[in-house]
């Protein structure tokens, strides 16, 4: 049987050319939204140096707009060190890990608390390596969260292997509280679930050895929150989520169990100017010339346009 003809044939590139983000704000509008939405019940733009398991209990219901959570790996630091090829001299004391045997119990505890503190429109991005992915997926399954996408973050890693493939990806589980009401700003025409973002290295700088790239954290913020929203991170580490929130006119709130990281987090935040990275989403779209390089239909359109000038 012959395939049915589409009424409006899909022309690659034409849809991309006409694409506009669902929501967009100028820098001034974003700053106003940020100033207007200073949270009152619980101080926002604050990091508490305590265990998130007990800390989260005191957060109000339906409070958070977006969660970014990069939990401890559940492997001891000596293996982290060799796995990640880092010098422990620059890792602050008190690096907090969770033992492999308690990992499922720990993961179920913190993940099951998330839906309560999330607004109905909120999302959570949960990061996981593959070694404990099983426990993270099980905890999501047991919670009231709905898993929407299983995103792969692909990076260059640089750890040479002899008898196995080089690990060069991470898992990012995009979950929501209510699959009918969650906020999602489609800021790209064709956002795929594989994100290619290089890891950055900061040789010689003190840091928790697990800093996520700001581009990666900001991508979650752009797609799943509005300026002025409250972004929560139960495992702040170096404060990457707080830095990216501040740099994009979002408020932040979080926990970090290791008080030795306070100095690093405060330094990172003090060096970040409010709204530093925010660019209206329309300005980030590919130019018509970029699209023309990729799609024949757009280059035809461009030729026609220049002919008519």
Does residue 210 belong to the site contacting ligand SAM (CB under 6 A)? yes
Decide the pairing of beta strands 46-48 and 251-255.
parallel
Closer residue to ligand SAM in complex, CB, 232/281? 232
Q: For 66, which DSSP code?
A: E
Query: In the window 30-89, what residues touch ligand SAM (CB under 6 A)?
Result: 51-53, 70, 72
Instruction: Show the tokens assigned to 189.
Output: 């025409």
Instruction: Show the tokens assigned to 225.
Output: 């929150």
Count of C-beta atoms within a 10 Å radius of residue 247: 20
The half-sphere exposure of 256 on its side-chain side, counting CA atoms within 13 A, is: 23
Does residue 237 belong to the site contacting ligand SAM (CB under 6 A)? yes
Q: For 261, which DSSP code?
A: G
Does residue 258 belong to the site contacting ligand SAM (CB under 6 A)? yes
Does residue 244 belong to the site contacting ligand SAM (CB under 6 A)? no
Closer residue to ligand SAM in complex, CB, 52/126? 52
Count of C-beta atoms within a 10 Å radius of residue 27: 13
Count of C-beta atoms within a 10 Å radius of residue 288: 15
Residue from the set 125, 174, 195, 235 that interacts with ligand SAM by CB under 6 A: 235
Minimum CB distance to ligand SAM, residue 208 (Å):
5
Stretch that binds ligand SAM, among 23-31, 117-125, 166-174, 231-239 (CB under 6 A): 231-239
Minimum CB distance to ligand SAM, residue 79 (Å):
14
Minimum CB distance to ligand SAM, residue 51 (Å):
4
Closest CA to 136 of 178, 167, 102, 173: 173
Instruction: Give the interface with ligand SAM as residue ranges (CB under 6 A).
Output: 51-53, 70, 72, 95-96, 208, 210-212, 234-235, 237-238, 240, 255-258, 261
């Amino acid at each position: 049987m012959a395939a049915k003809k589409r009424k409006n044939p899909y022309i690659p590139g034409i849809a991309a050319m006409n694409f506009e983000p669902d929501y967009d704000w100028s820098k001034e509008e974003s700053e106003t939204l940020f100033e207007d939405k200073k949270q009152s019940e619980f101080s926002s733009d604050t990091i508490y140096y305590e265990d998130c398991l007990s800390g989260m209990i005191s957060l109000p219901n339906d409070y958070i707009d977006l969660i970014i959570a990069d939990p401890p790996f559940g492997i001891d630091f000596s293996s982290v060190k060799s796995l990640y090829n880092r010098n422990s001299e620059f890792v602050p004391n008190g690096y907090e890990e969770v033992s492999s045997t308690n990992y499922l119990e720990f993961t179920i505890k913190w993940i099951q608390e998330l839906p309560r503190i999330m607004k109905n429109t909120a999302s959570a991005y949960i990061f996981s390596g593959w070694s404990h992915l099983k426990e993270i997926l099980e905890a999501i399954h047991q919670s009231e969260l709905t898993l929407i996408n299983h995103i792969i973050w692909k990076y260059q890693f640089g750890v040479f292997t002899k008898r196995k493939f080089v690990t060069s990806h991470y898992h990012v589980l995009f979950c929501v509280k209510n699959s009918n009401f969650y906020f999602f700003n489609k800021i790209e025409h064709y956002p795929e679930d594989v994100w290619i973002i290089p890891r950055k290295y900061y040789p010689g700088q003190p840091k928790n050895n697990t800093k996520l790239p700001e581009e990666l954290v900001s991508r979650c913020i752009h797609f799943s929150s509005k300026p002025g929203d409250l972004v929560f991170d139960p495992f702040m580490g170096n404060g990457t989520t707080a830095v990216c929130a501040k740099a994009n006119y979002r408020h932040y709130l979080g926990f970090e169990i290791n008080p030795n990281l306070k100095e690093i987090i405060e330094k990172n935040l003090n060096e970040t100017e409010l709204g530093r990275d925010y660019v209206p989403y329309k300005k980030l779209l590919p130019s018509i010339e970029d699209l023309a390089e990729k799609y024949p239909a757009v280059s035809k359109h461009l030729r026609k346009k220049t002919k008519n000038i």
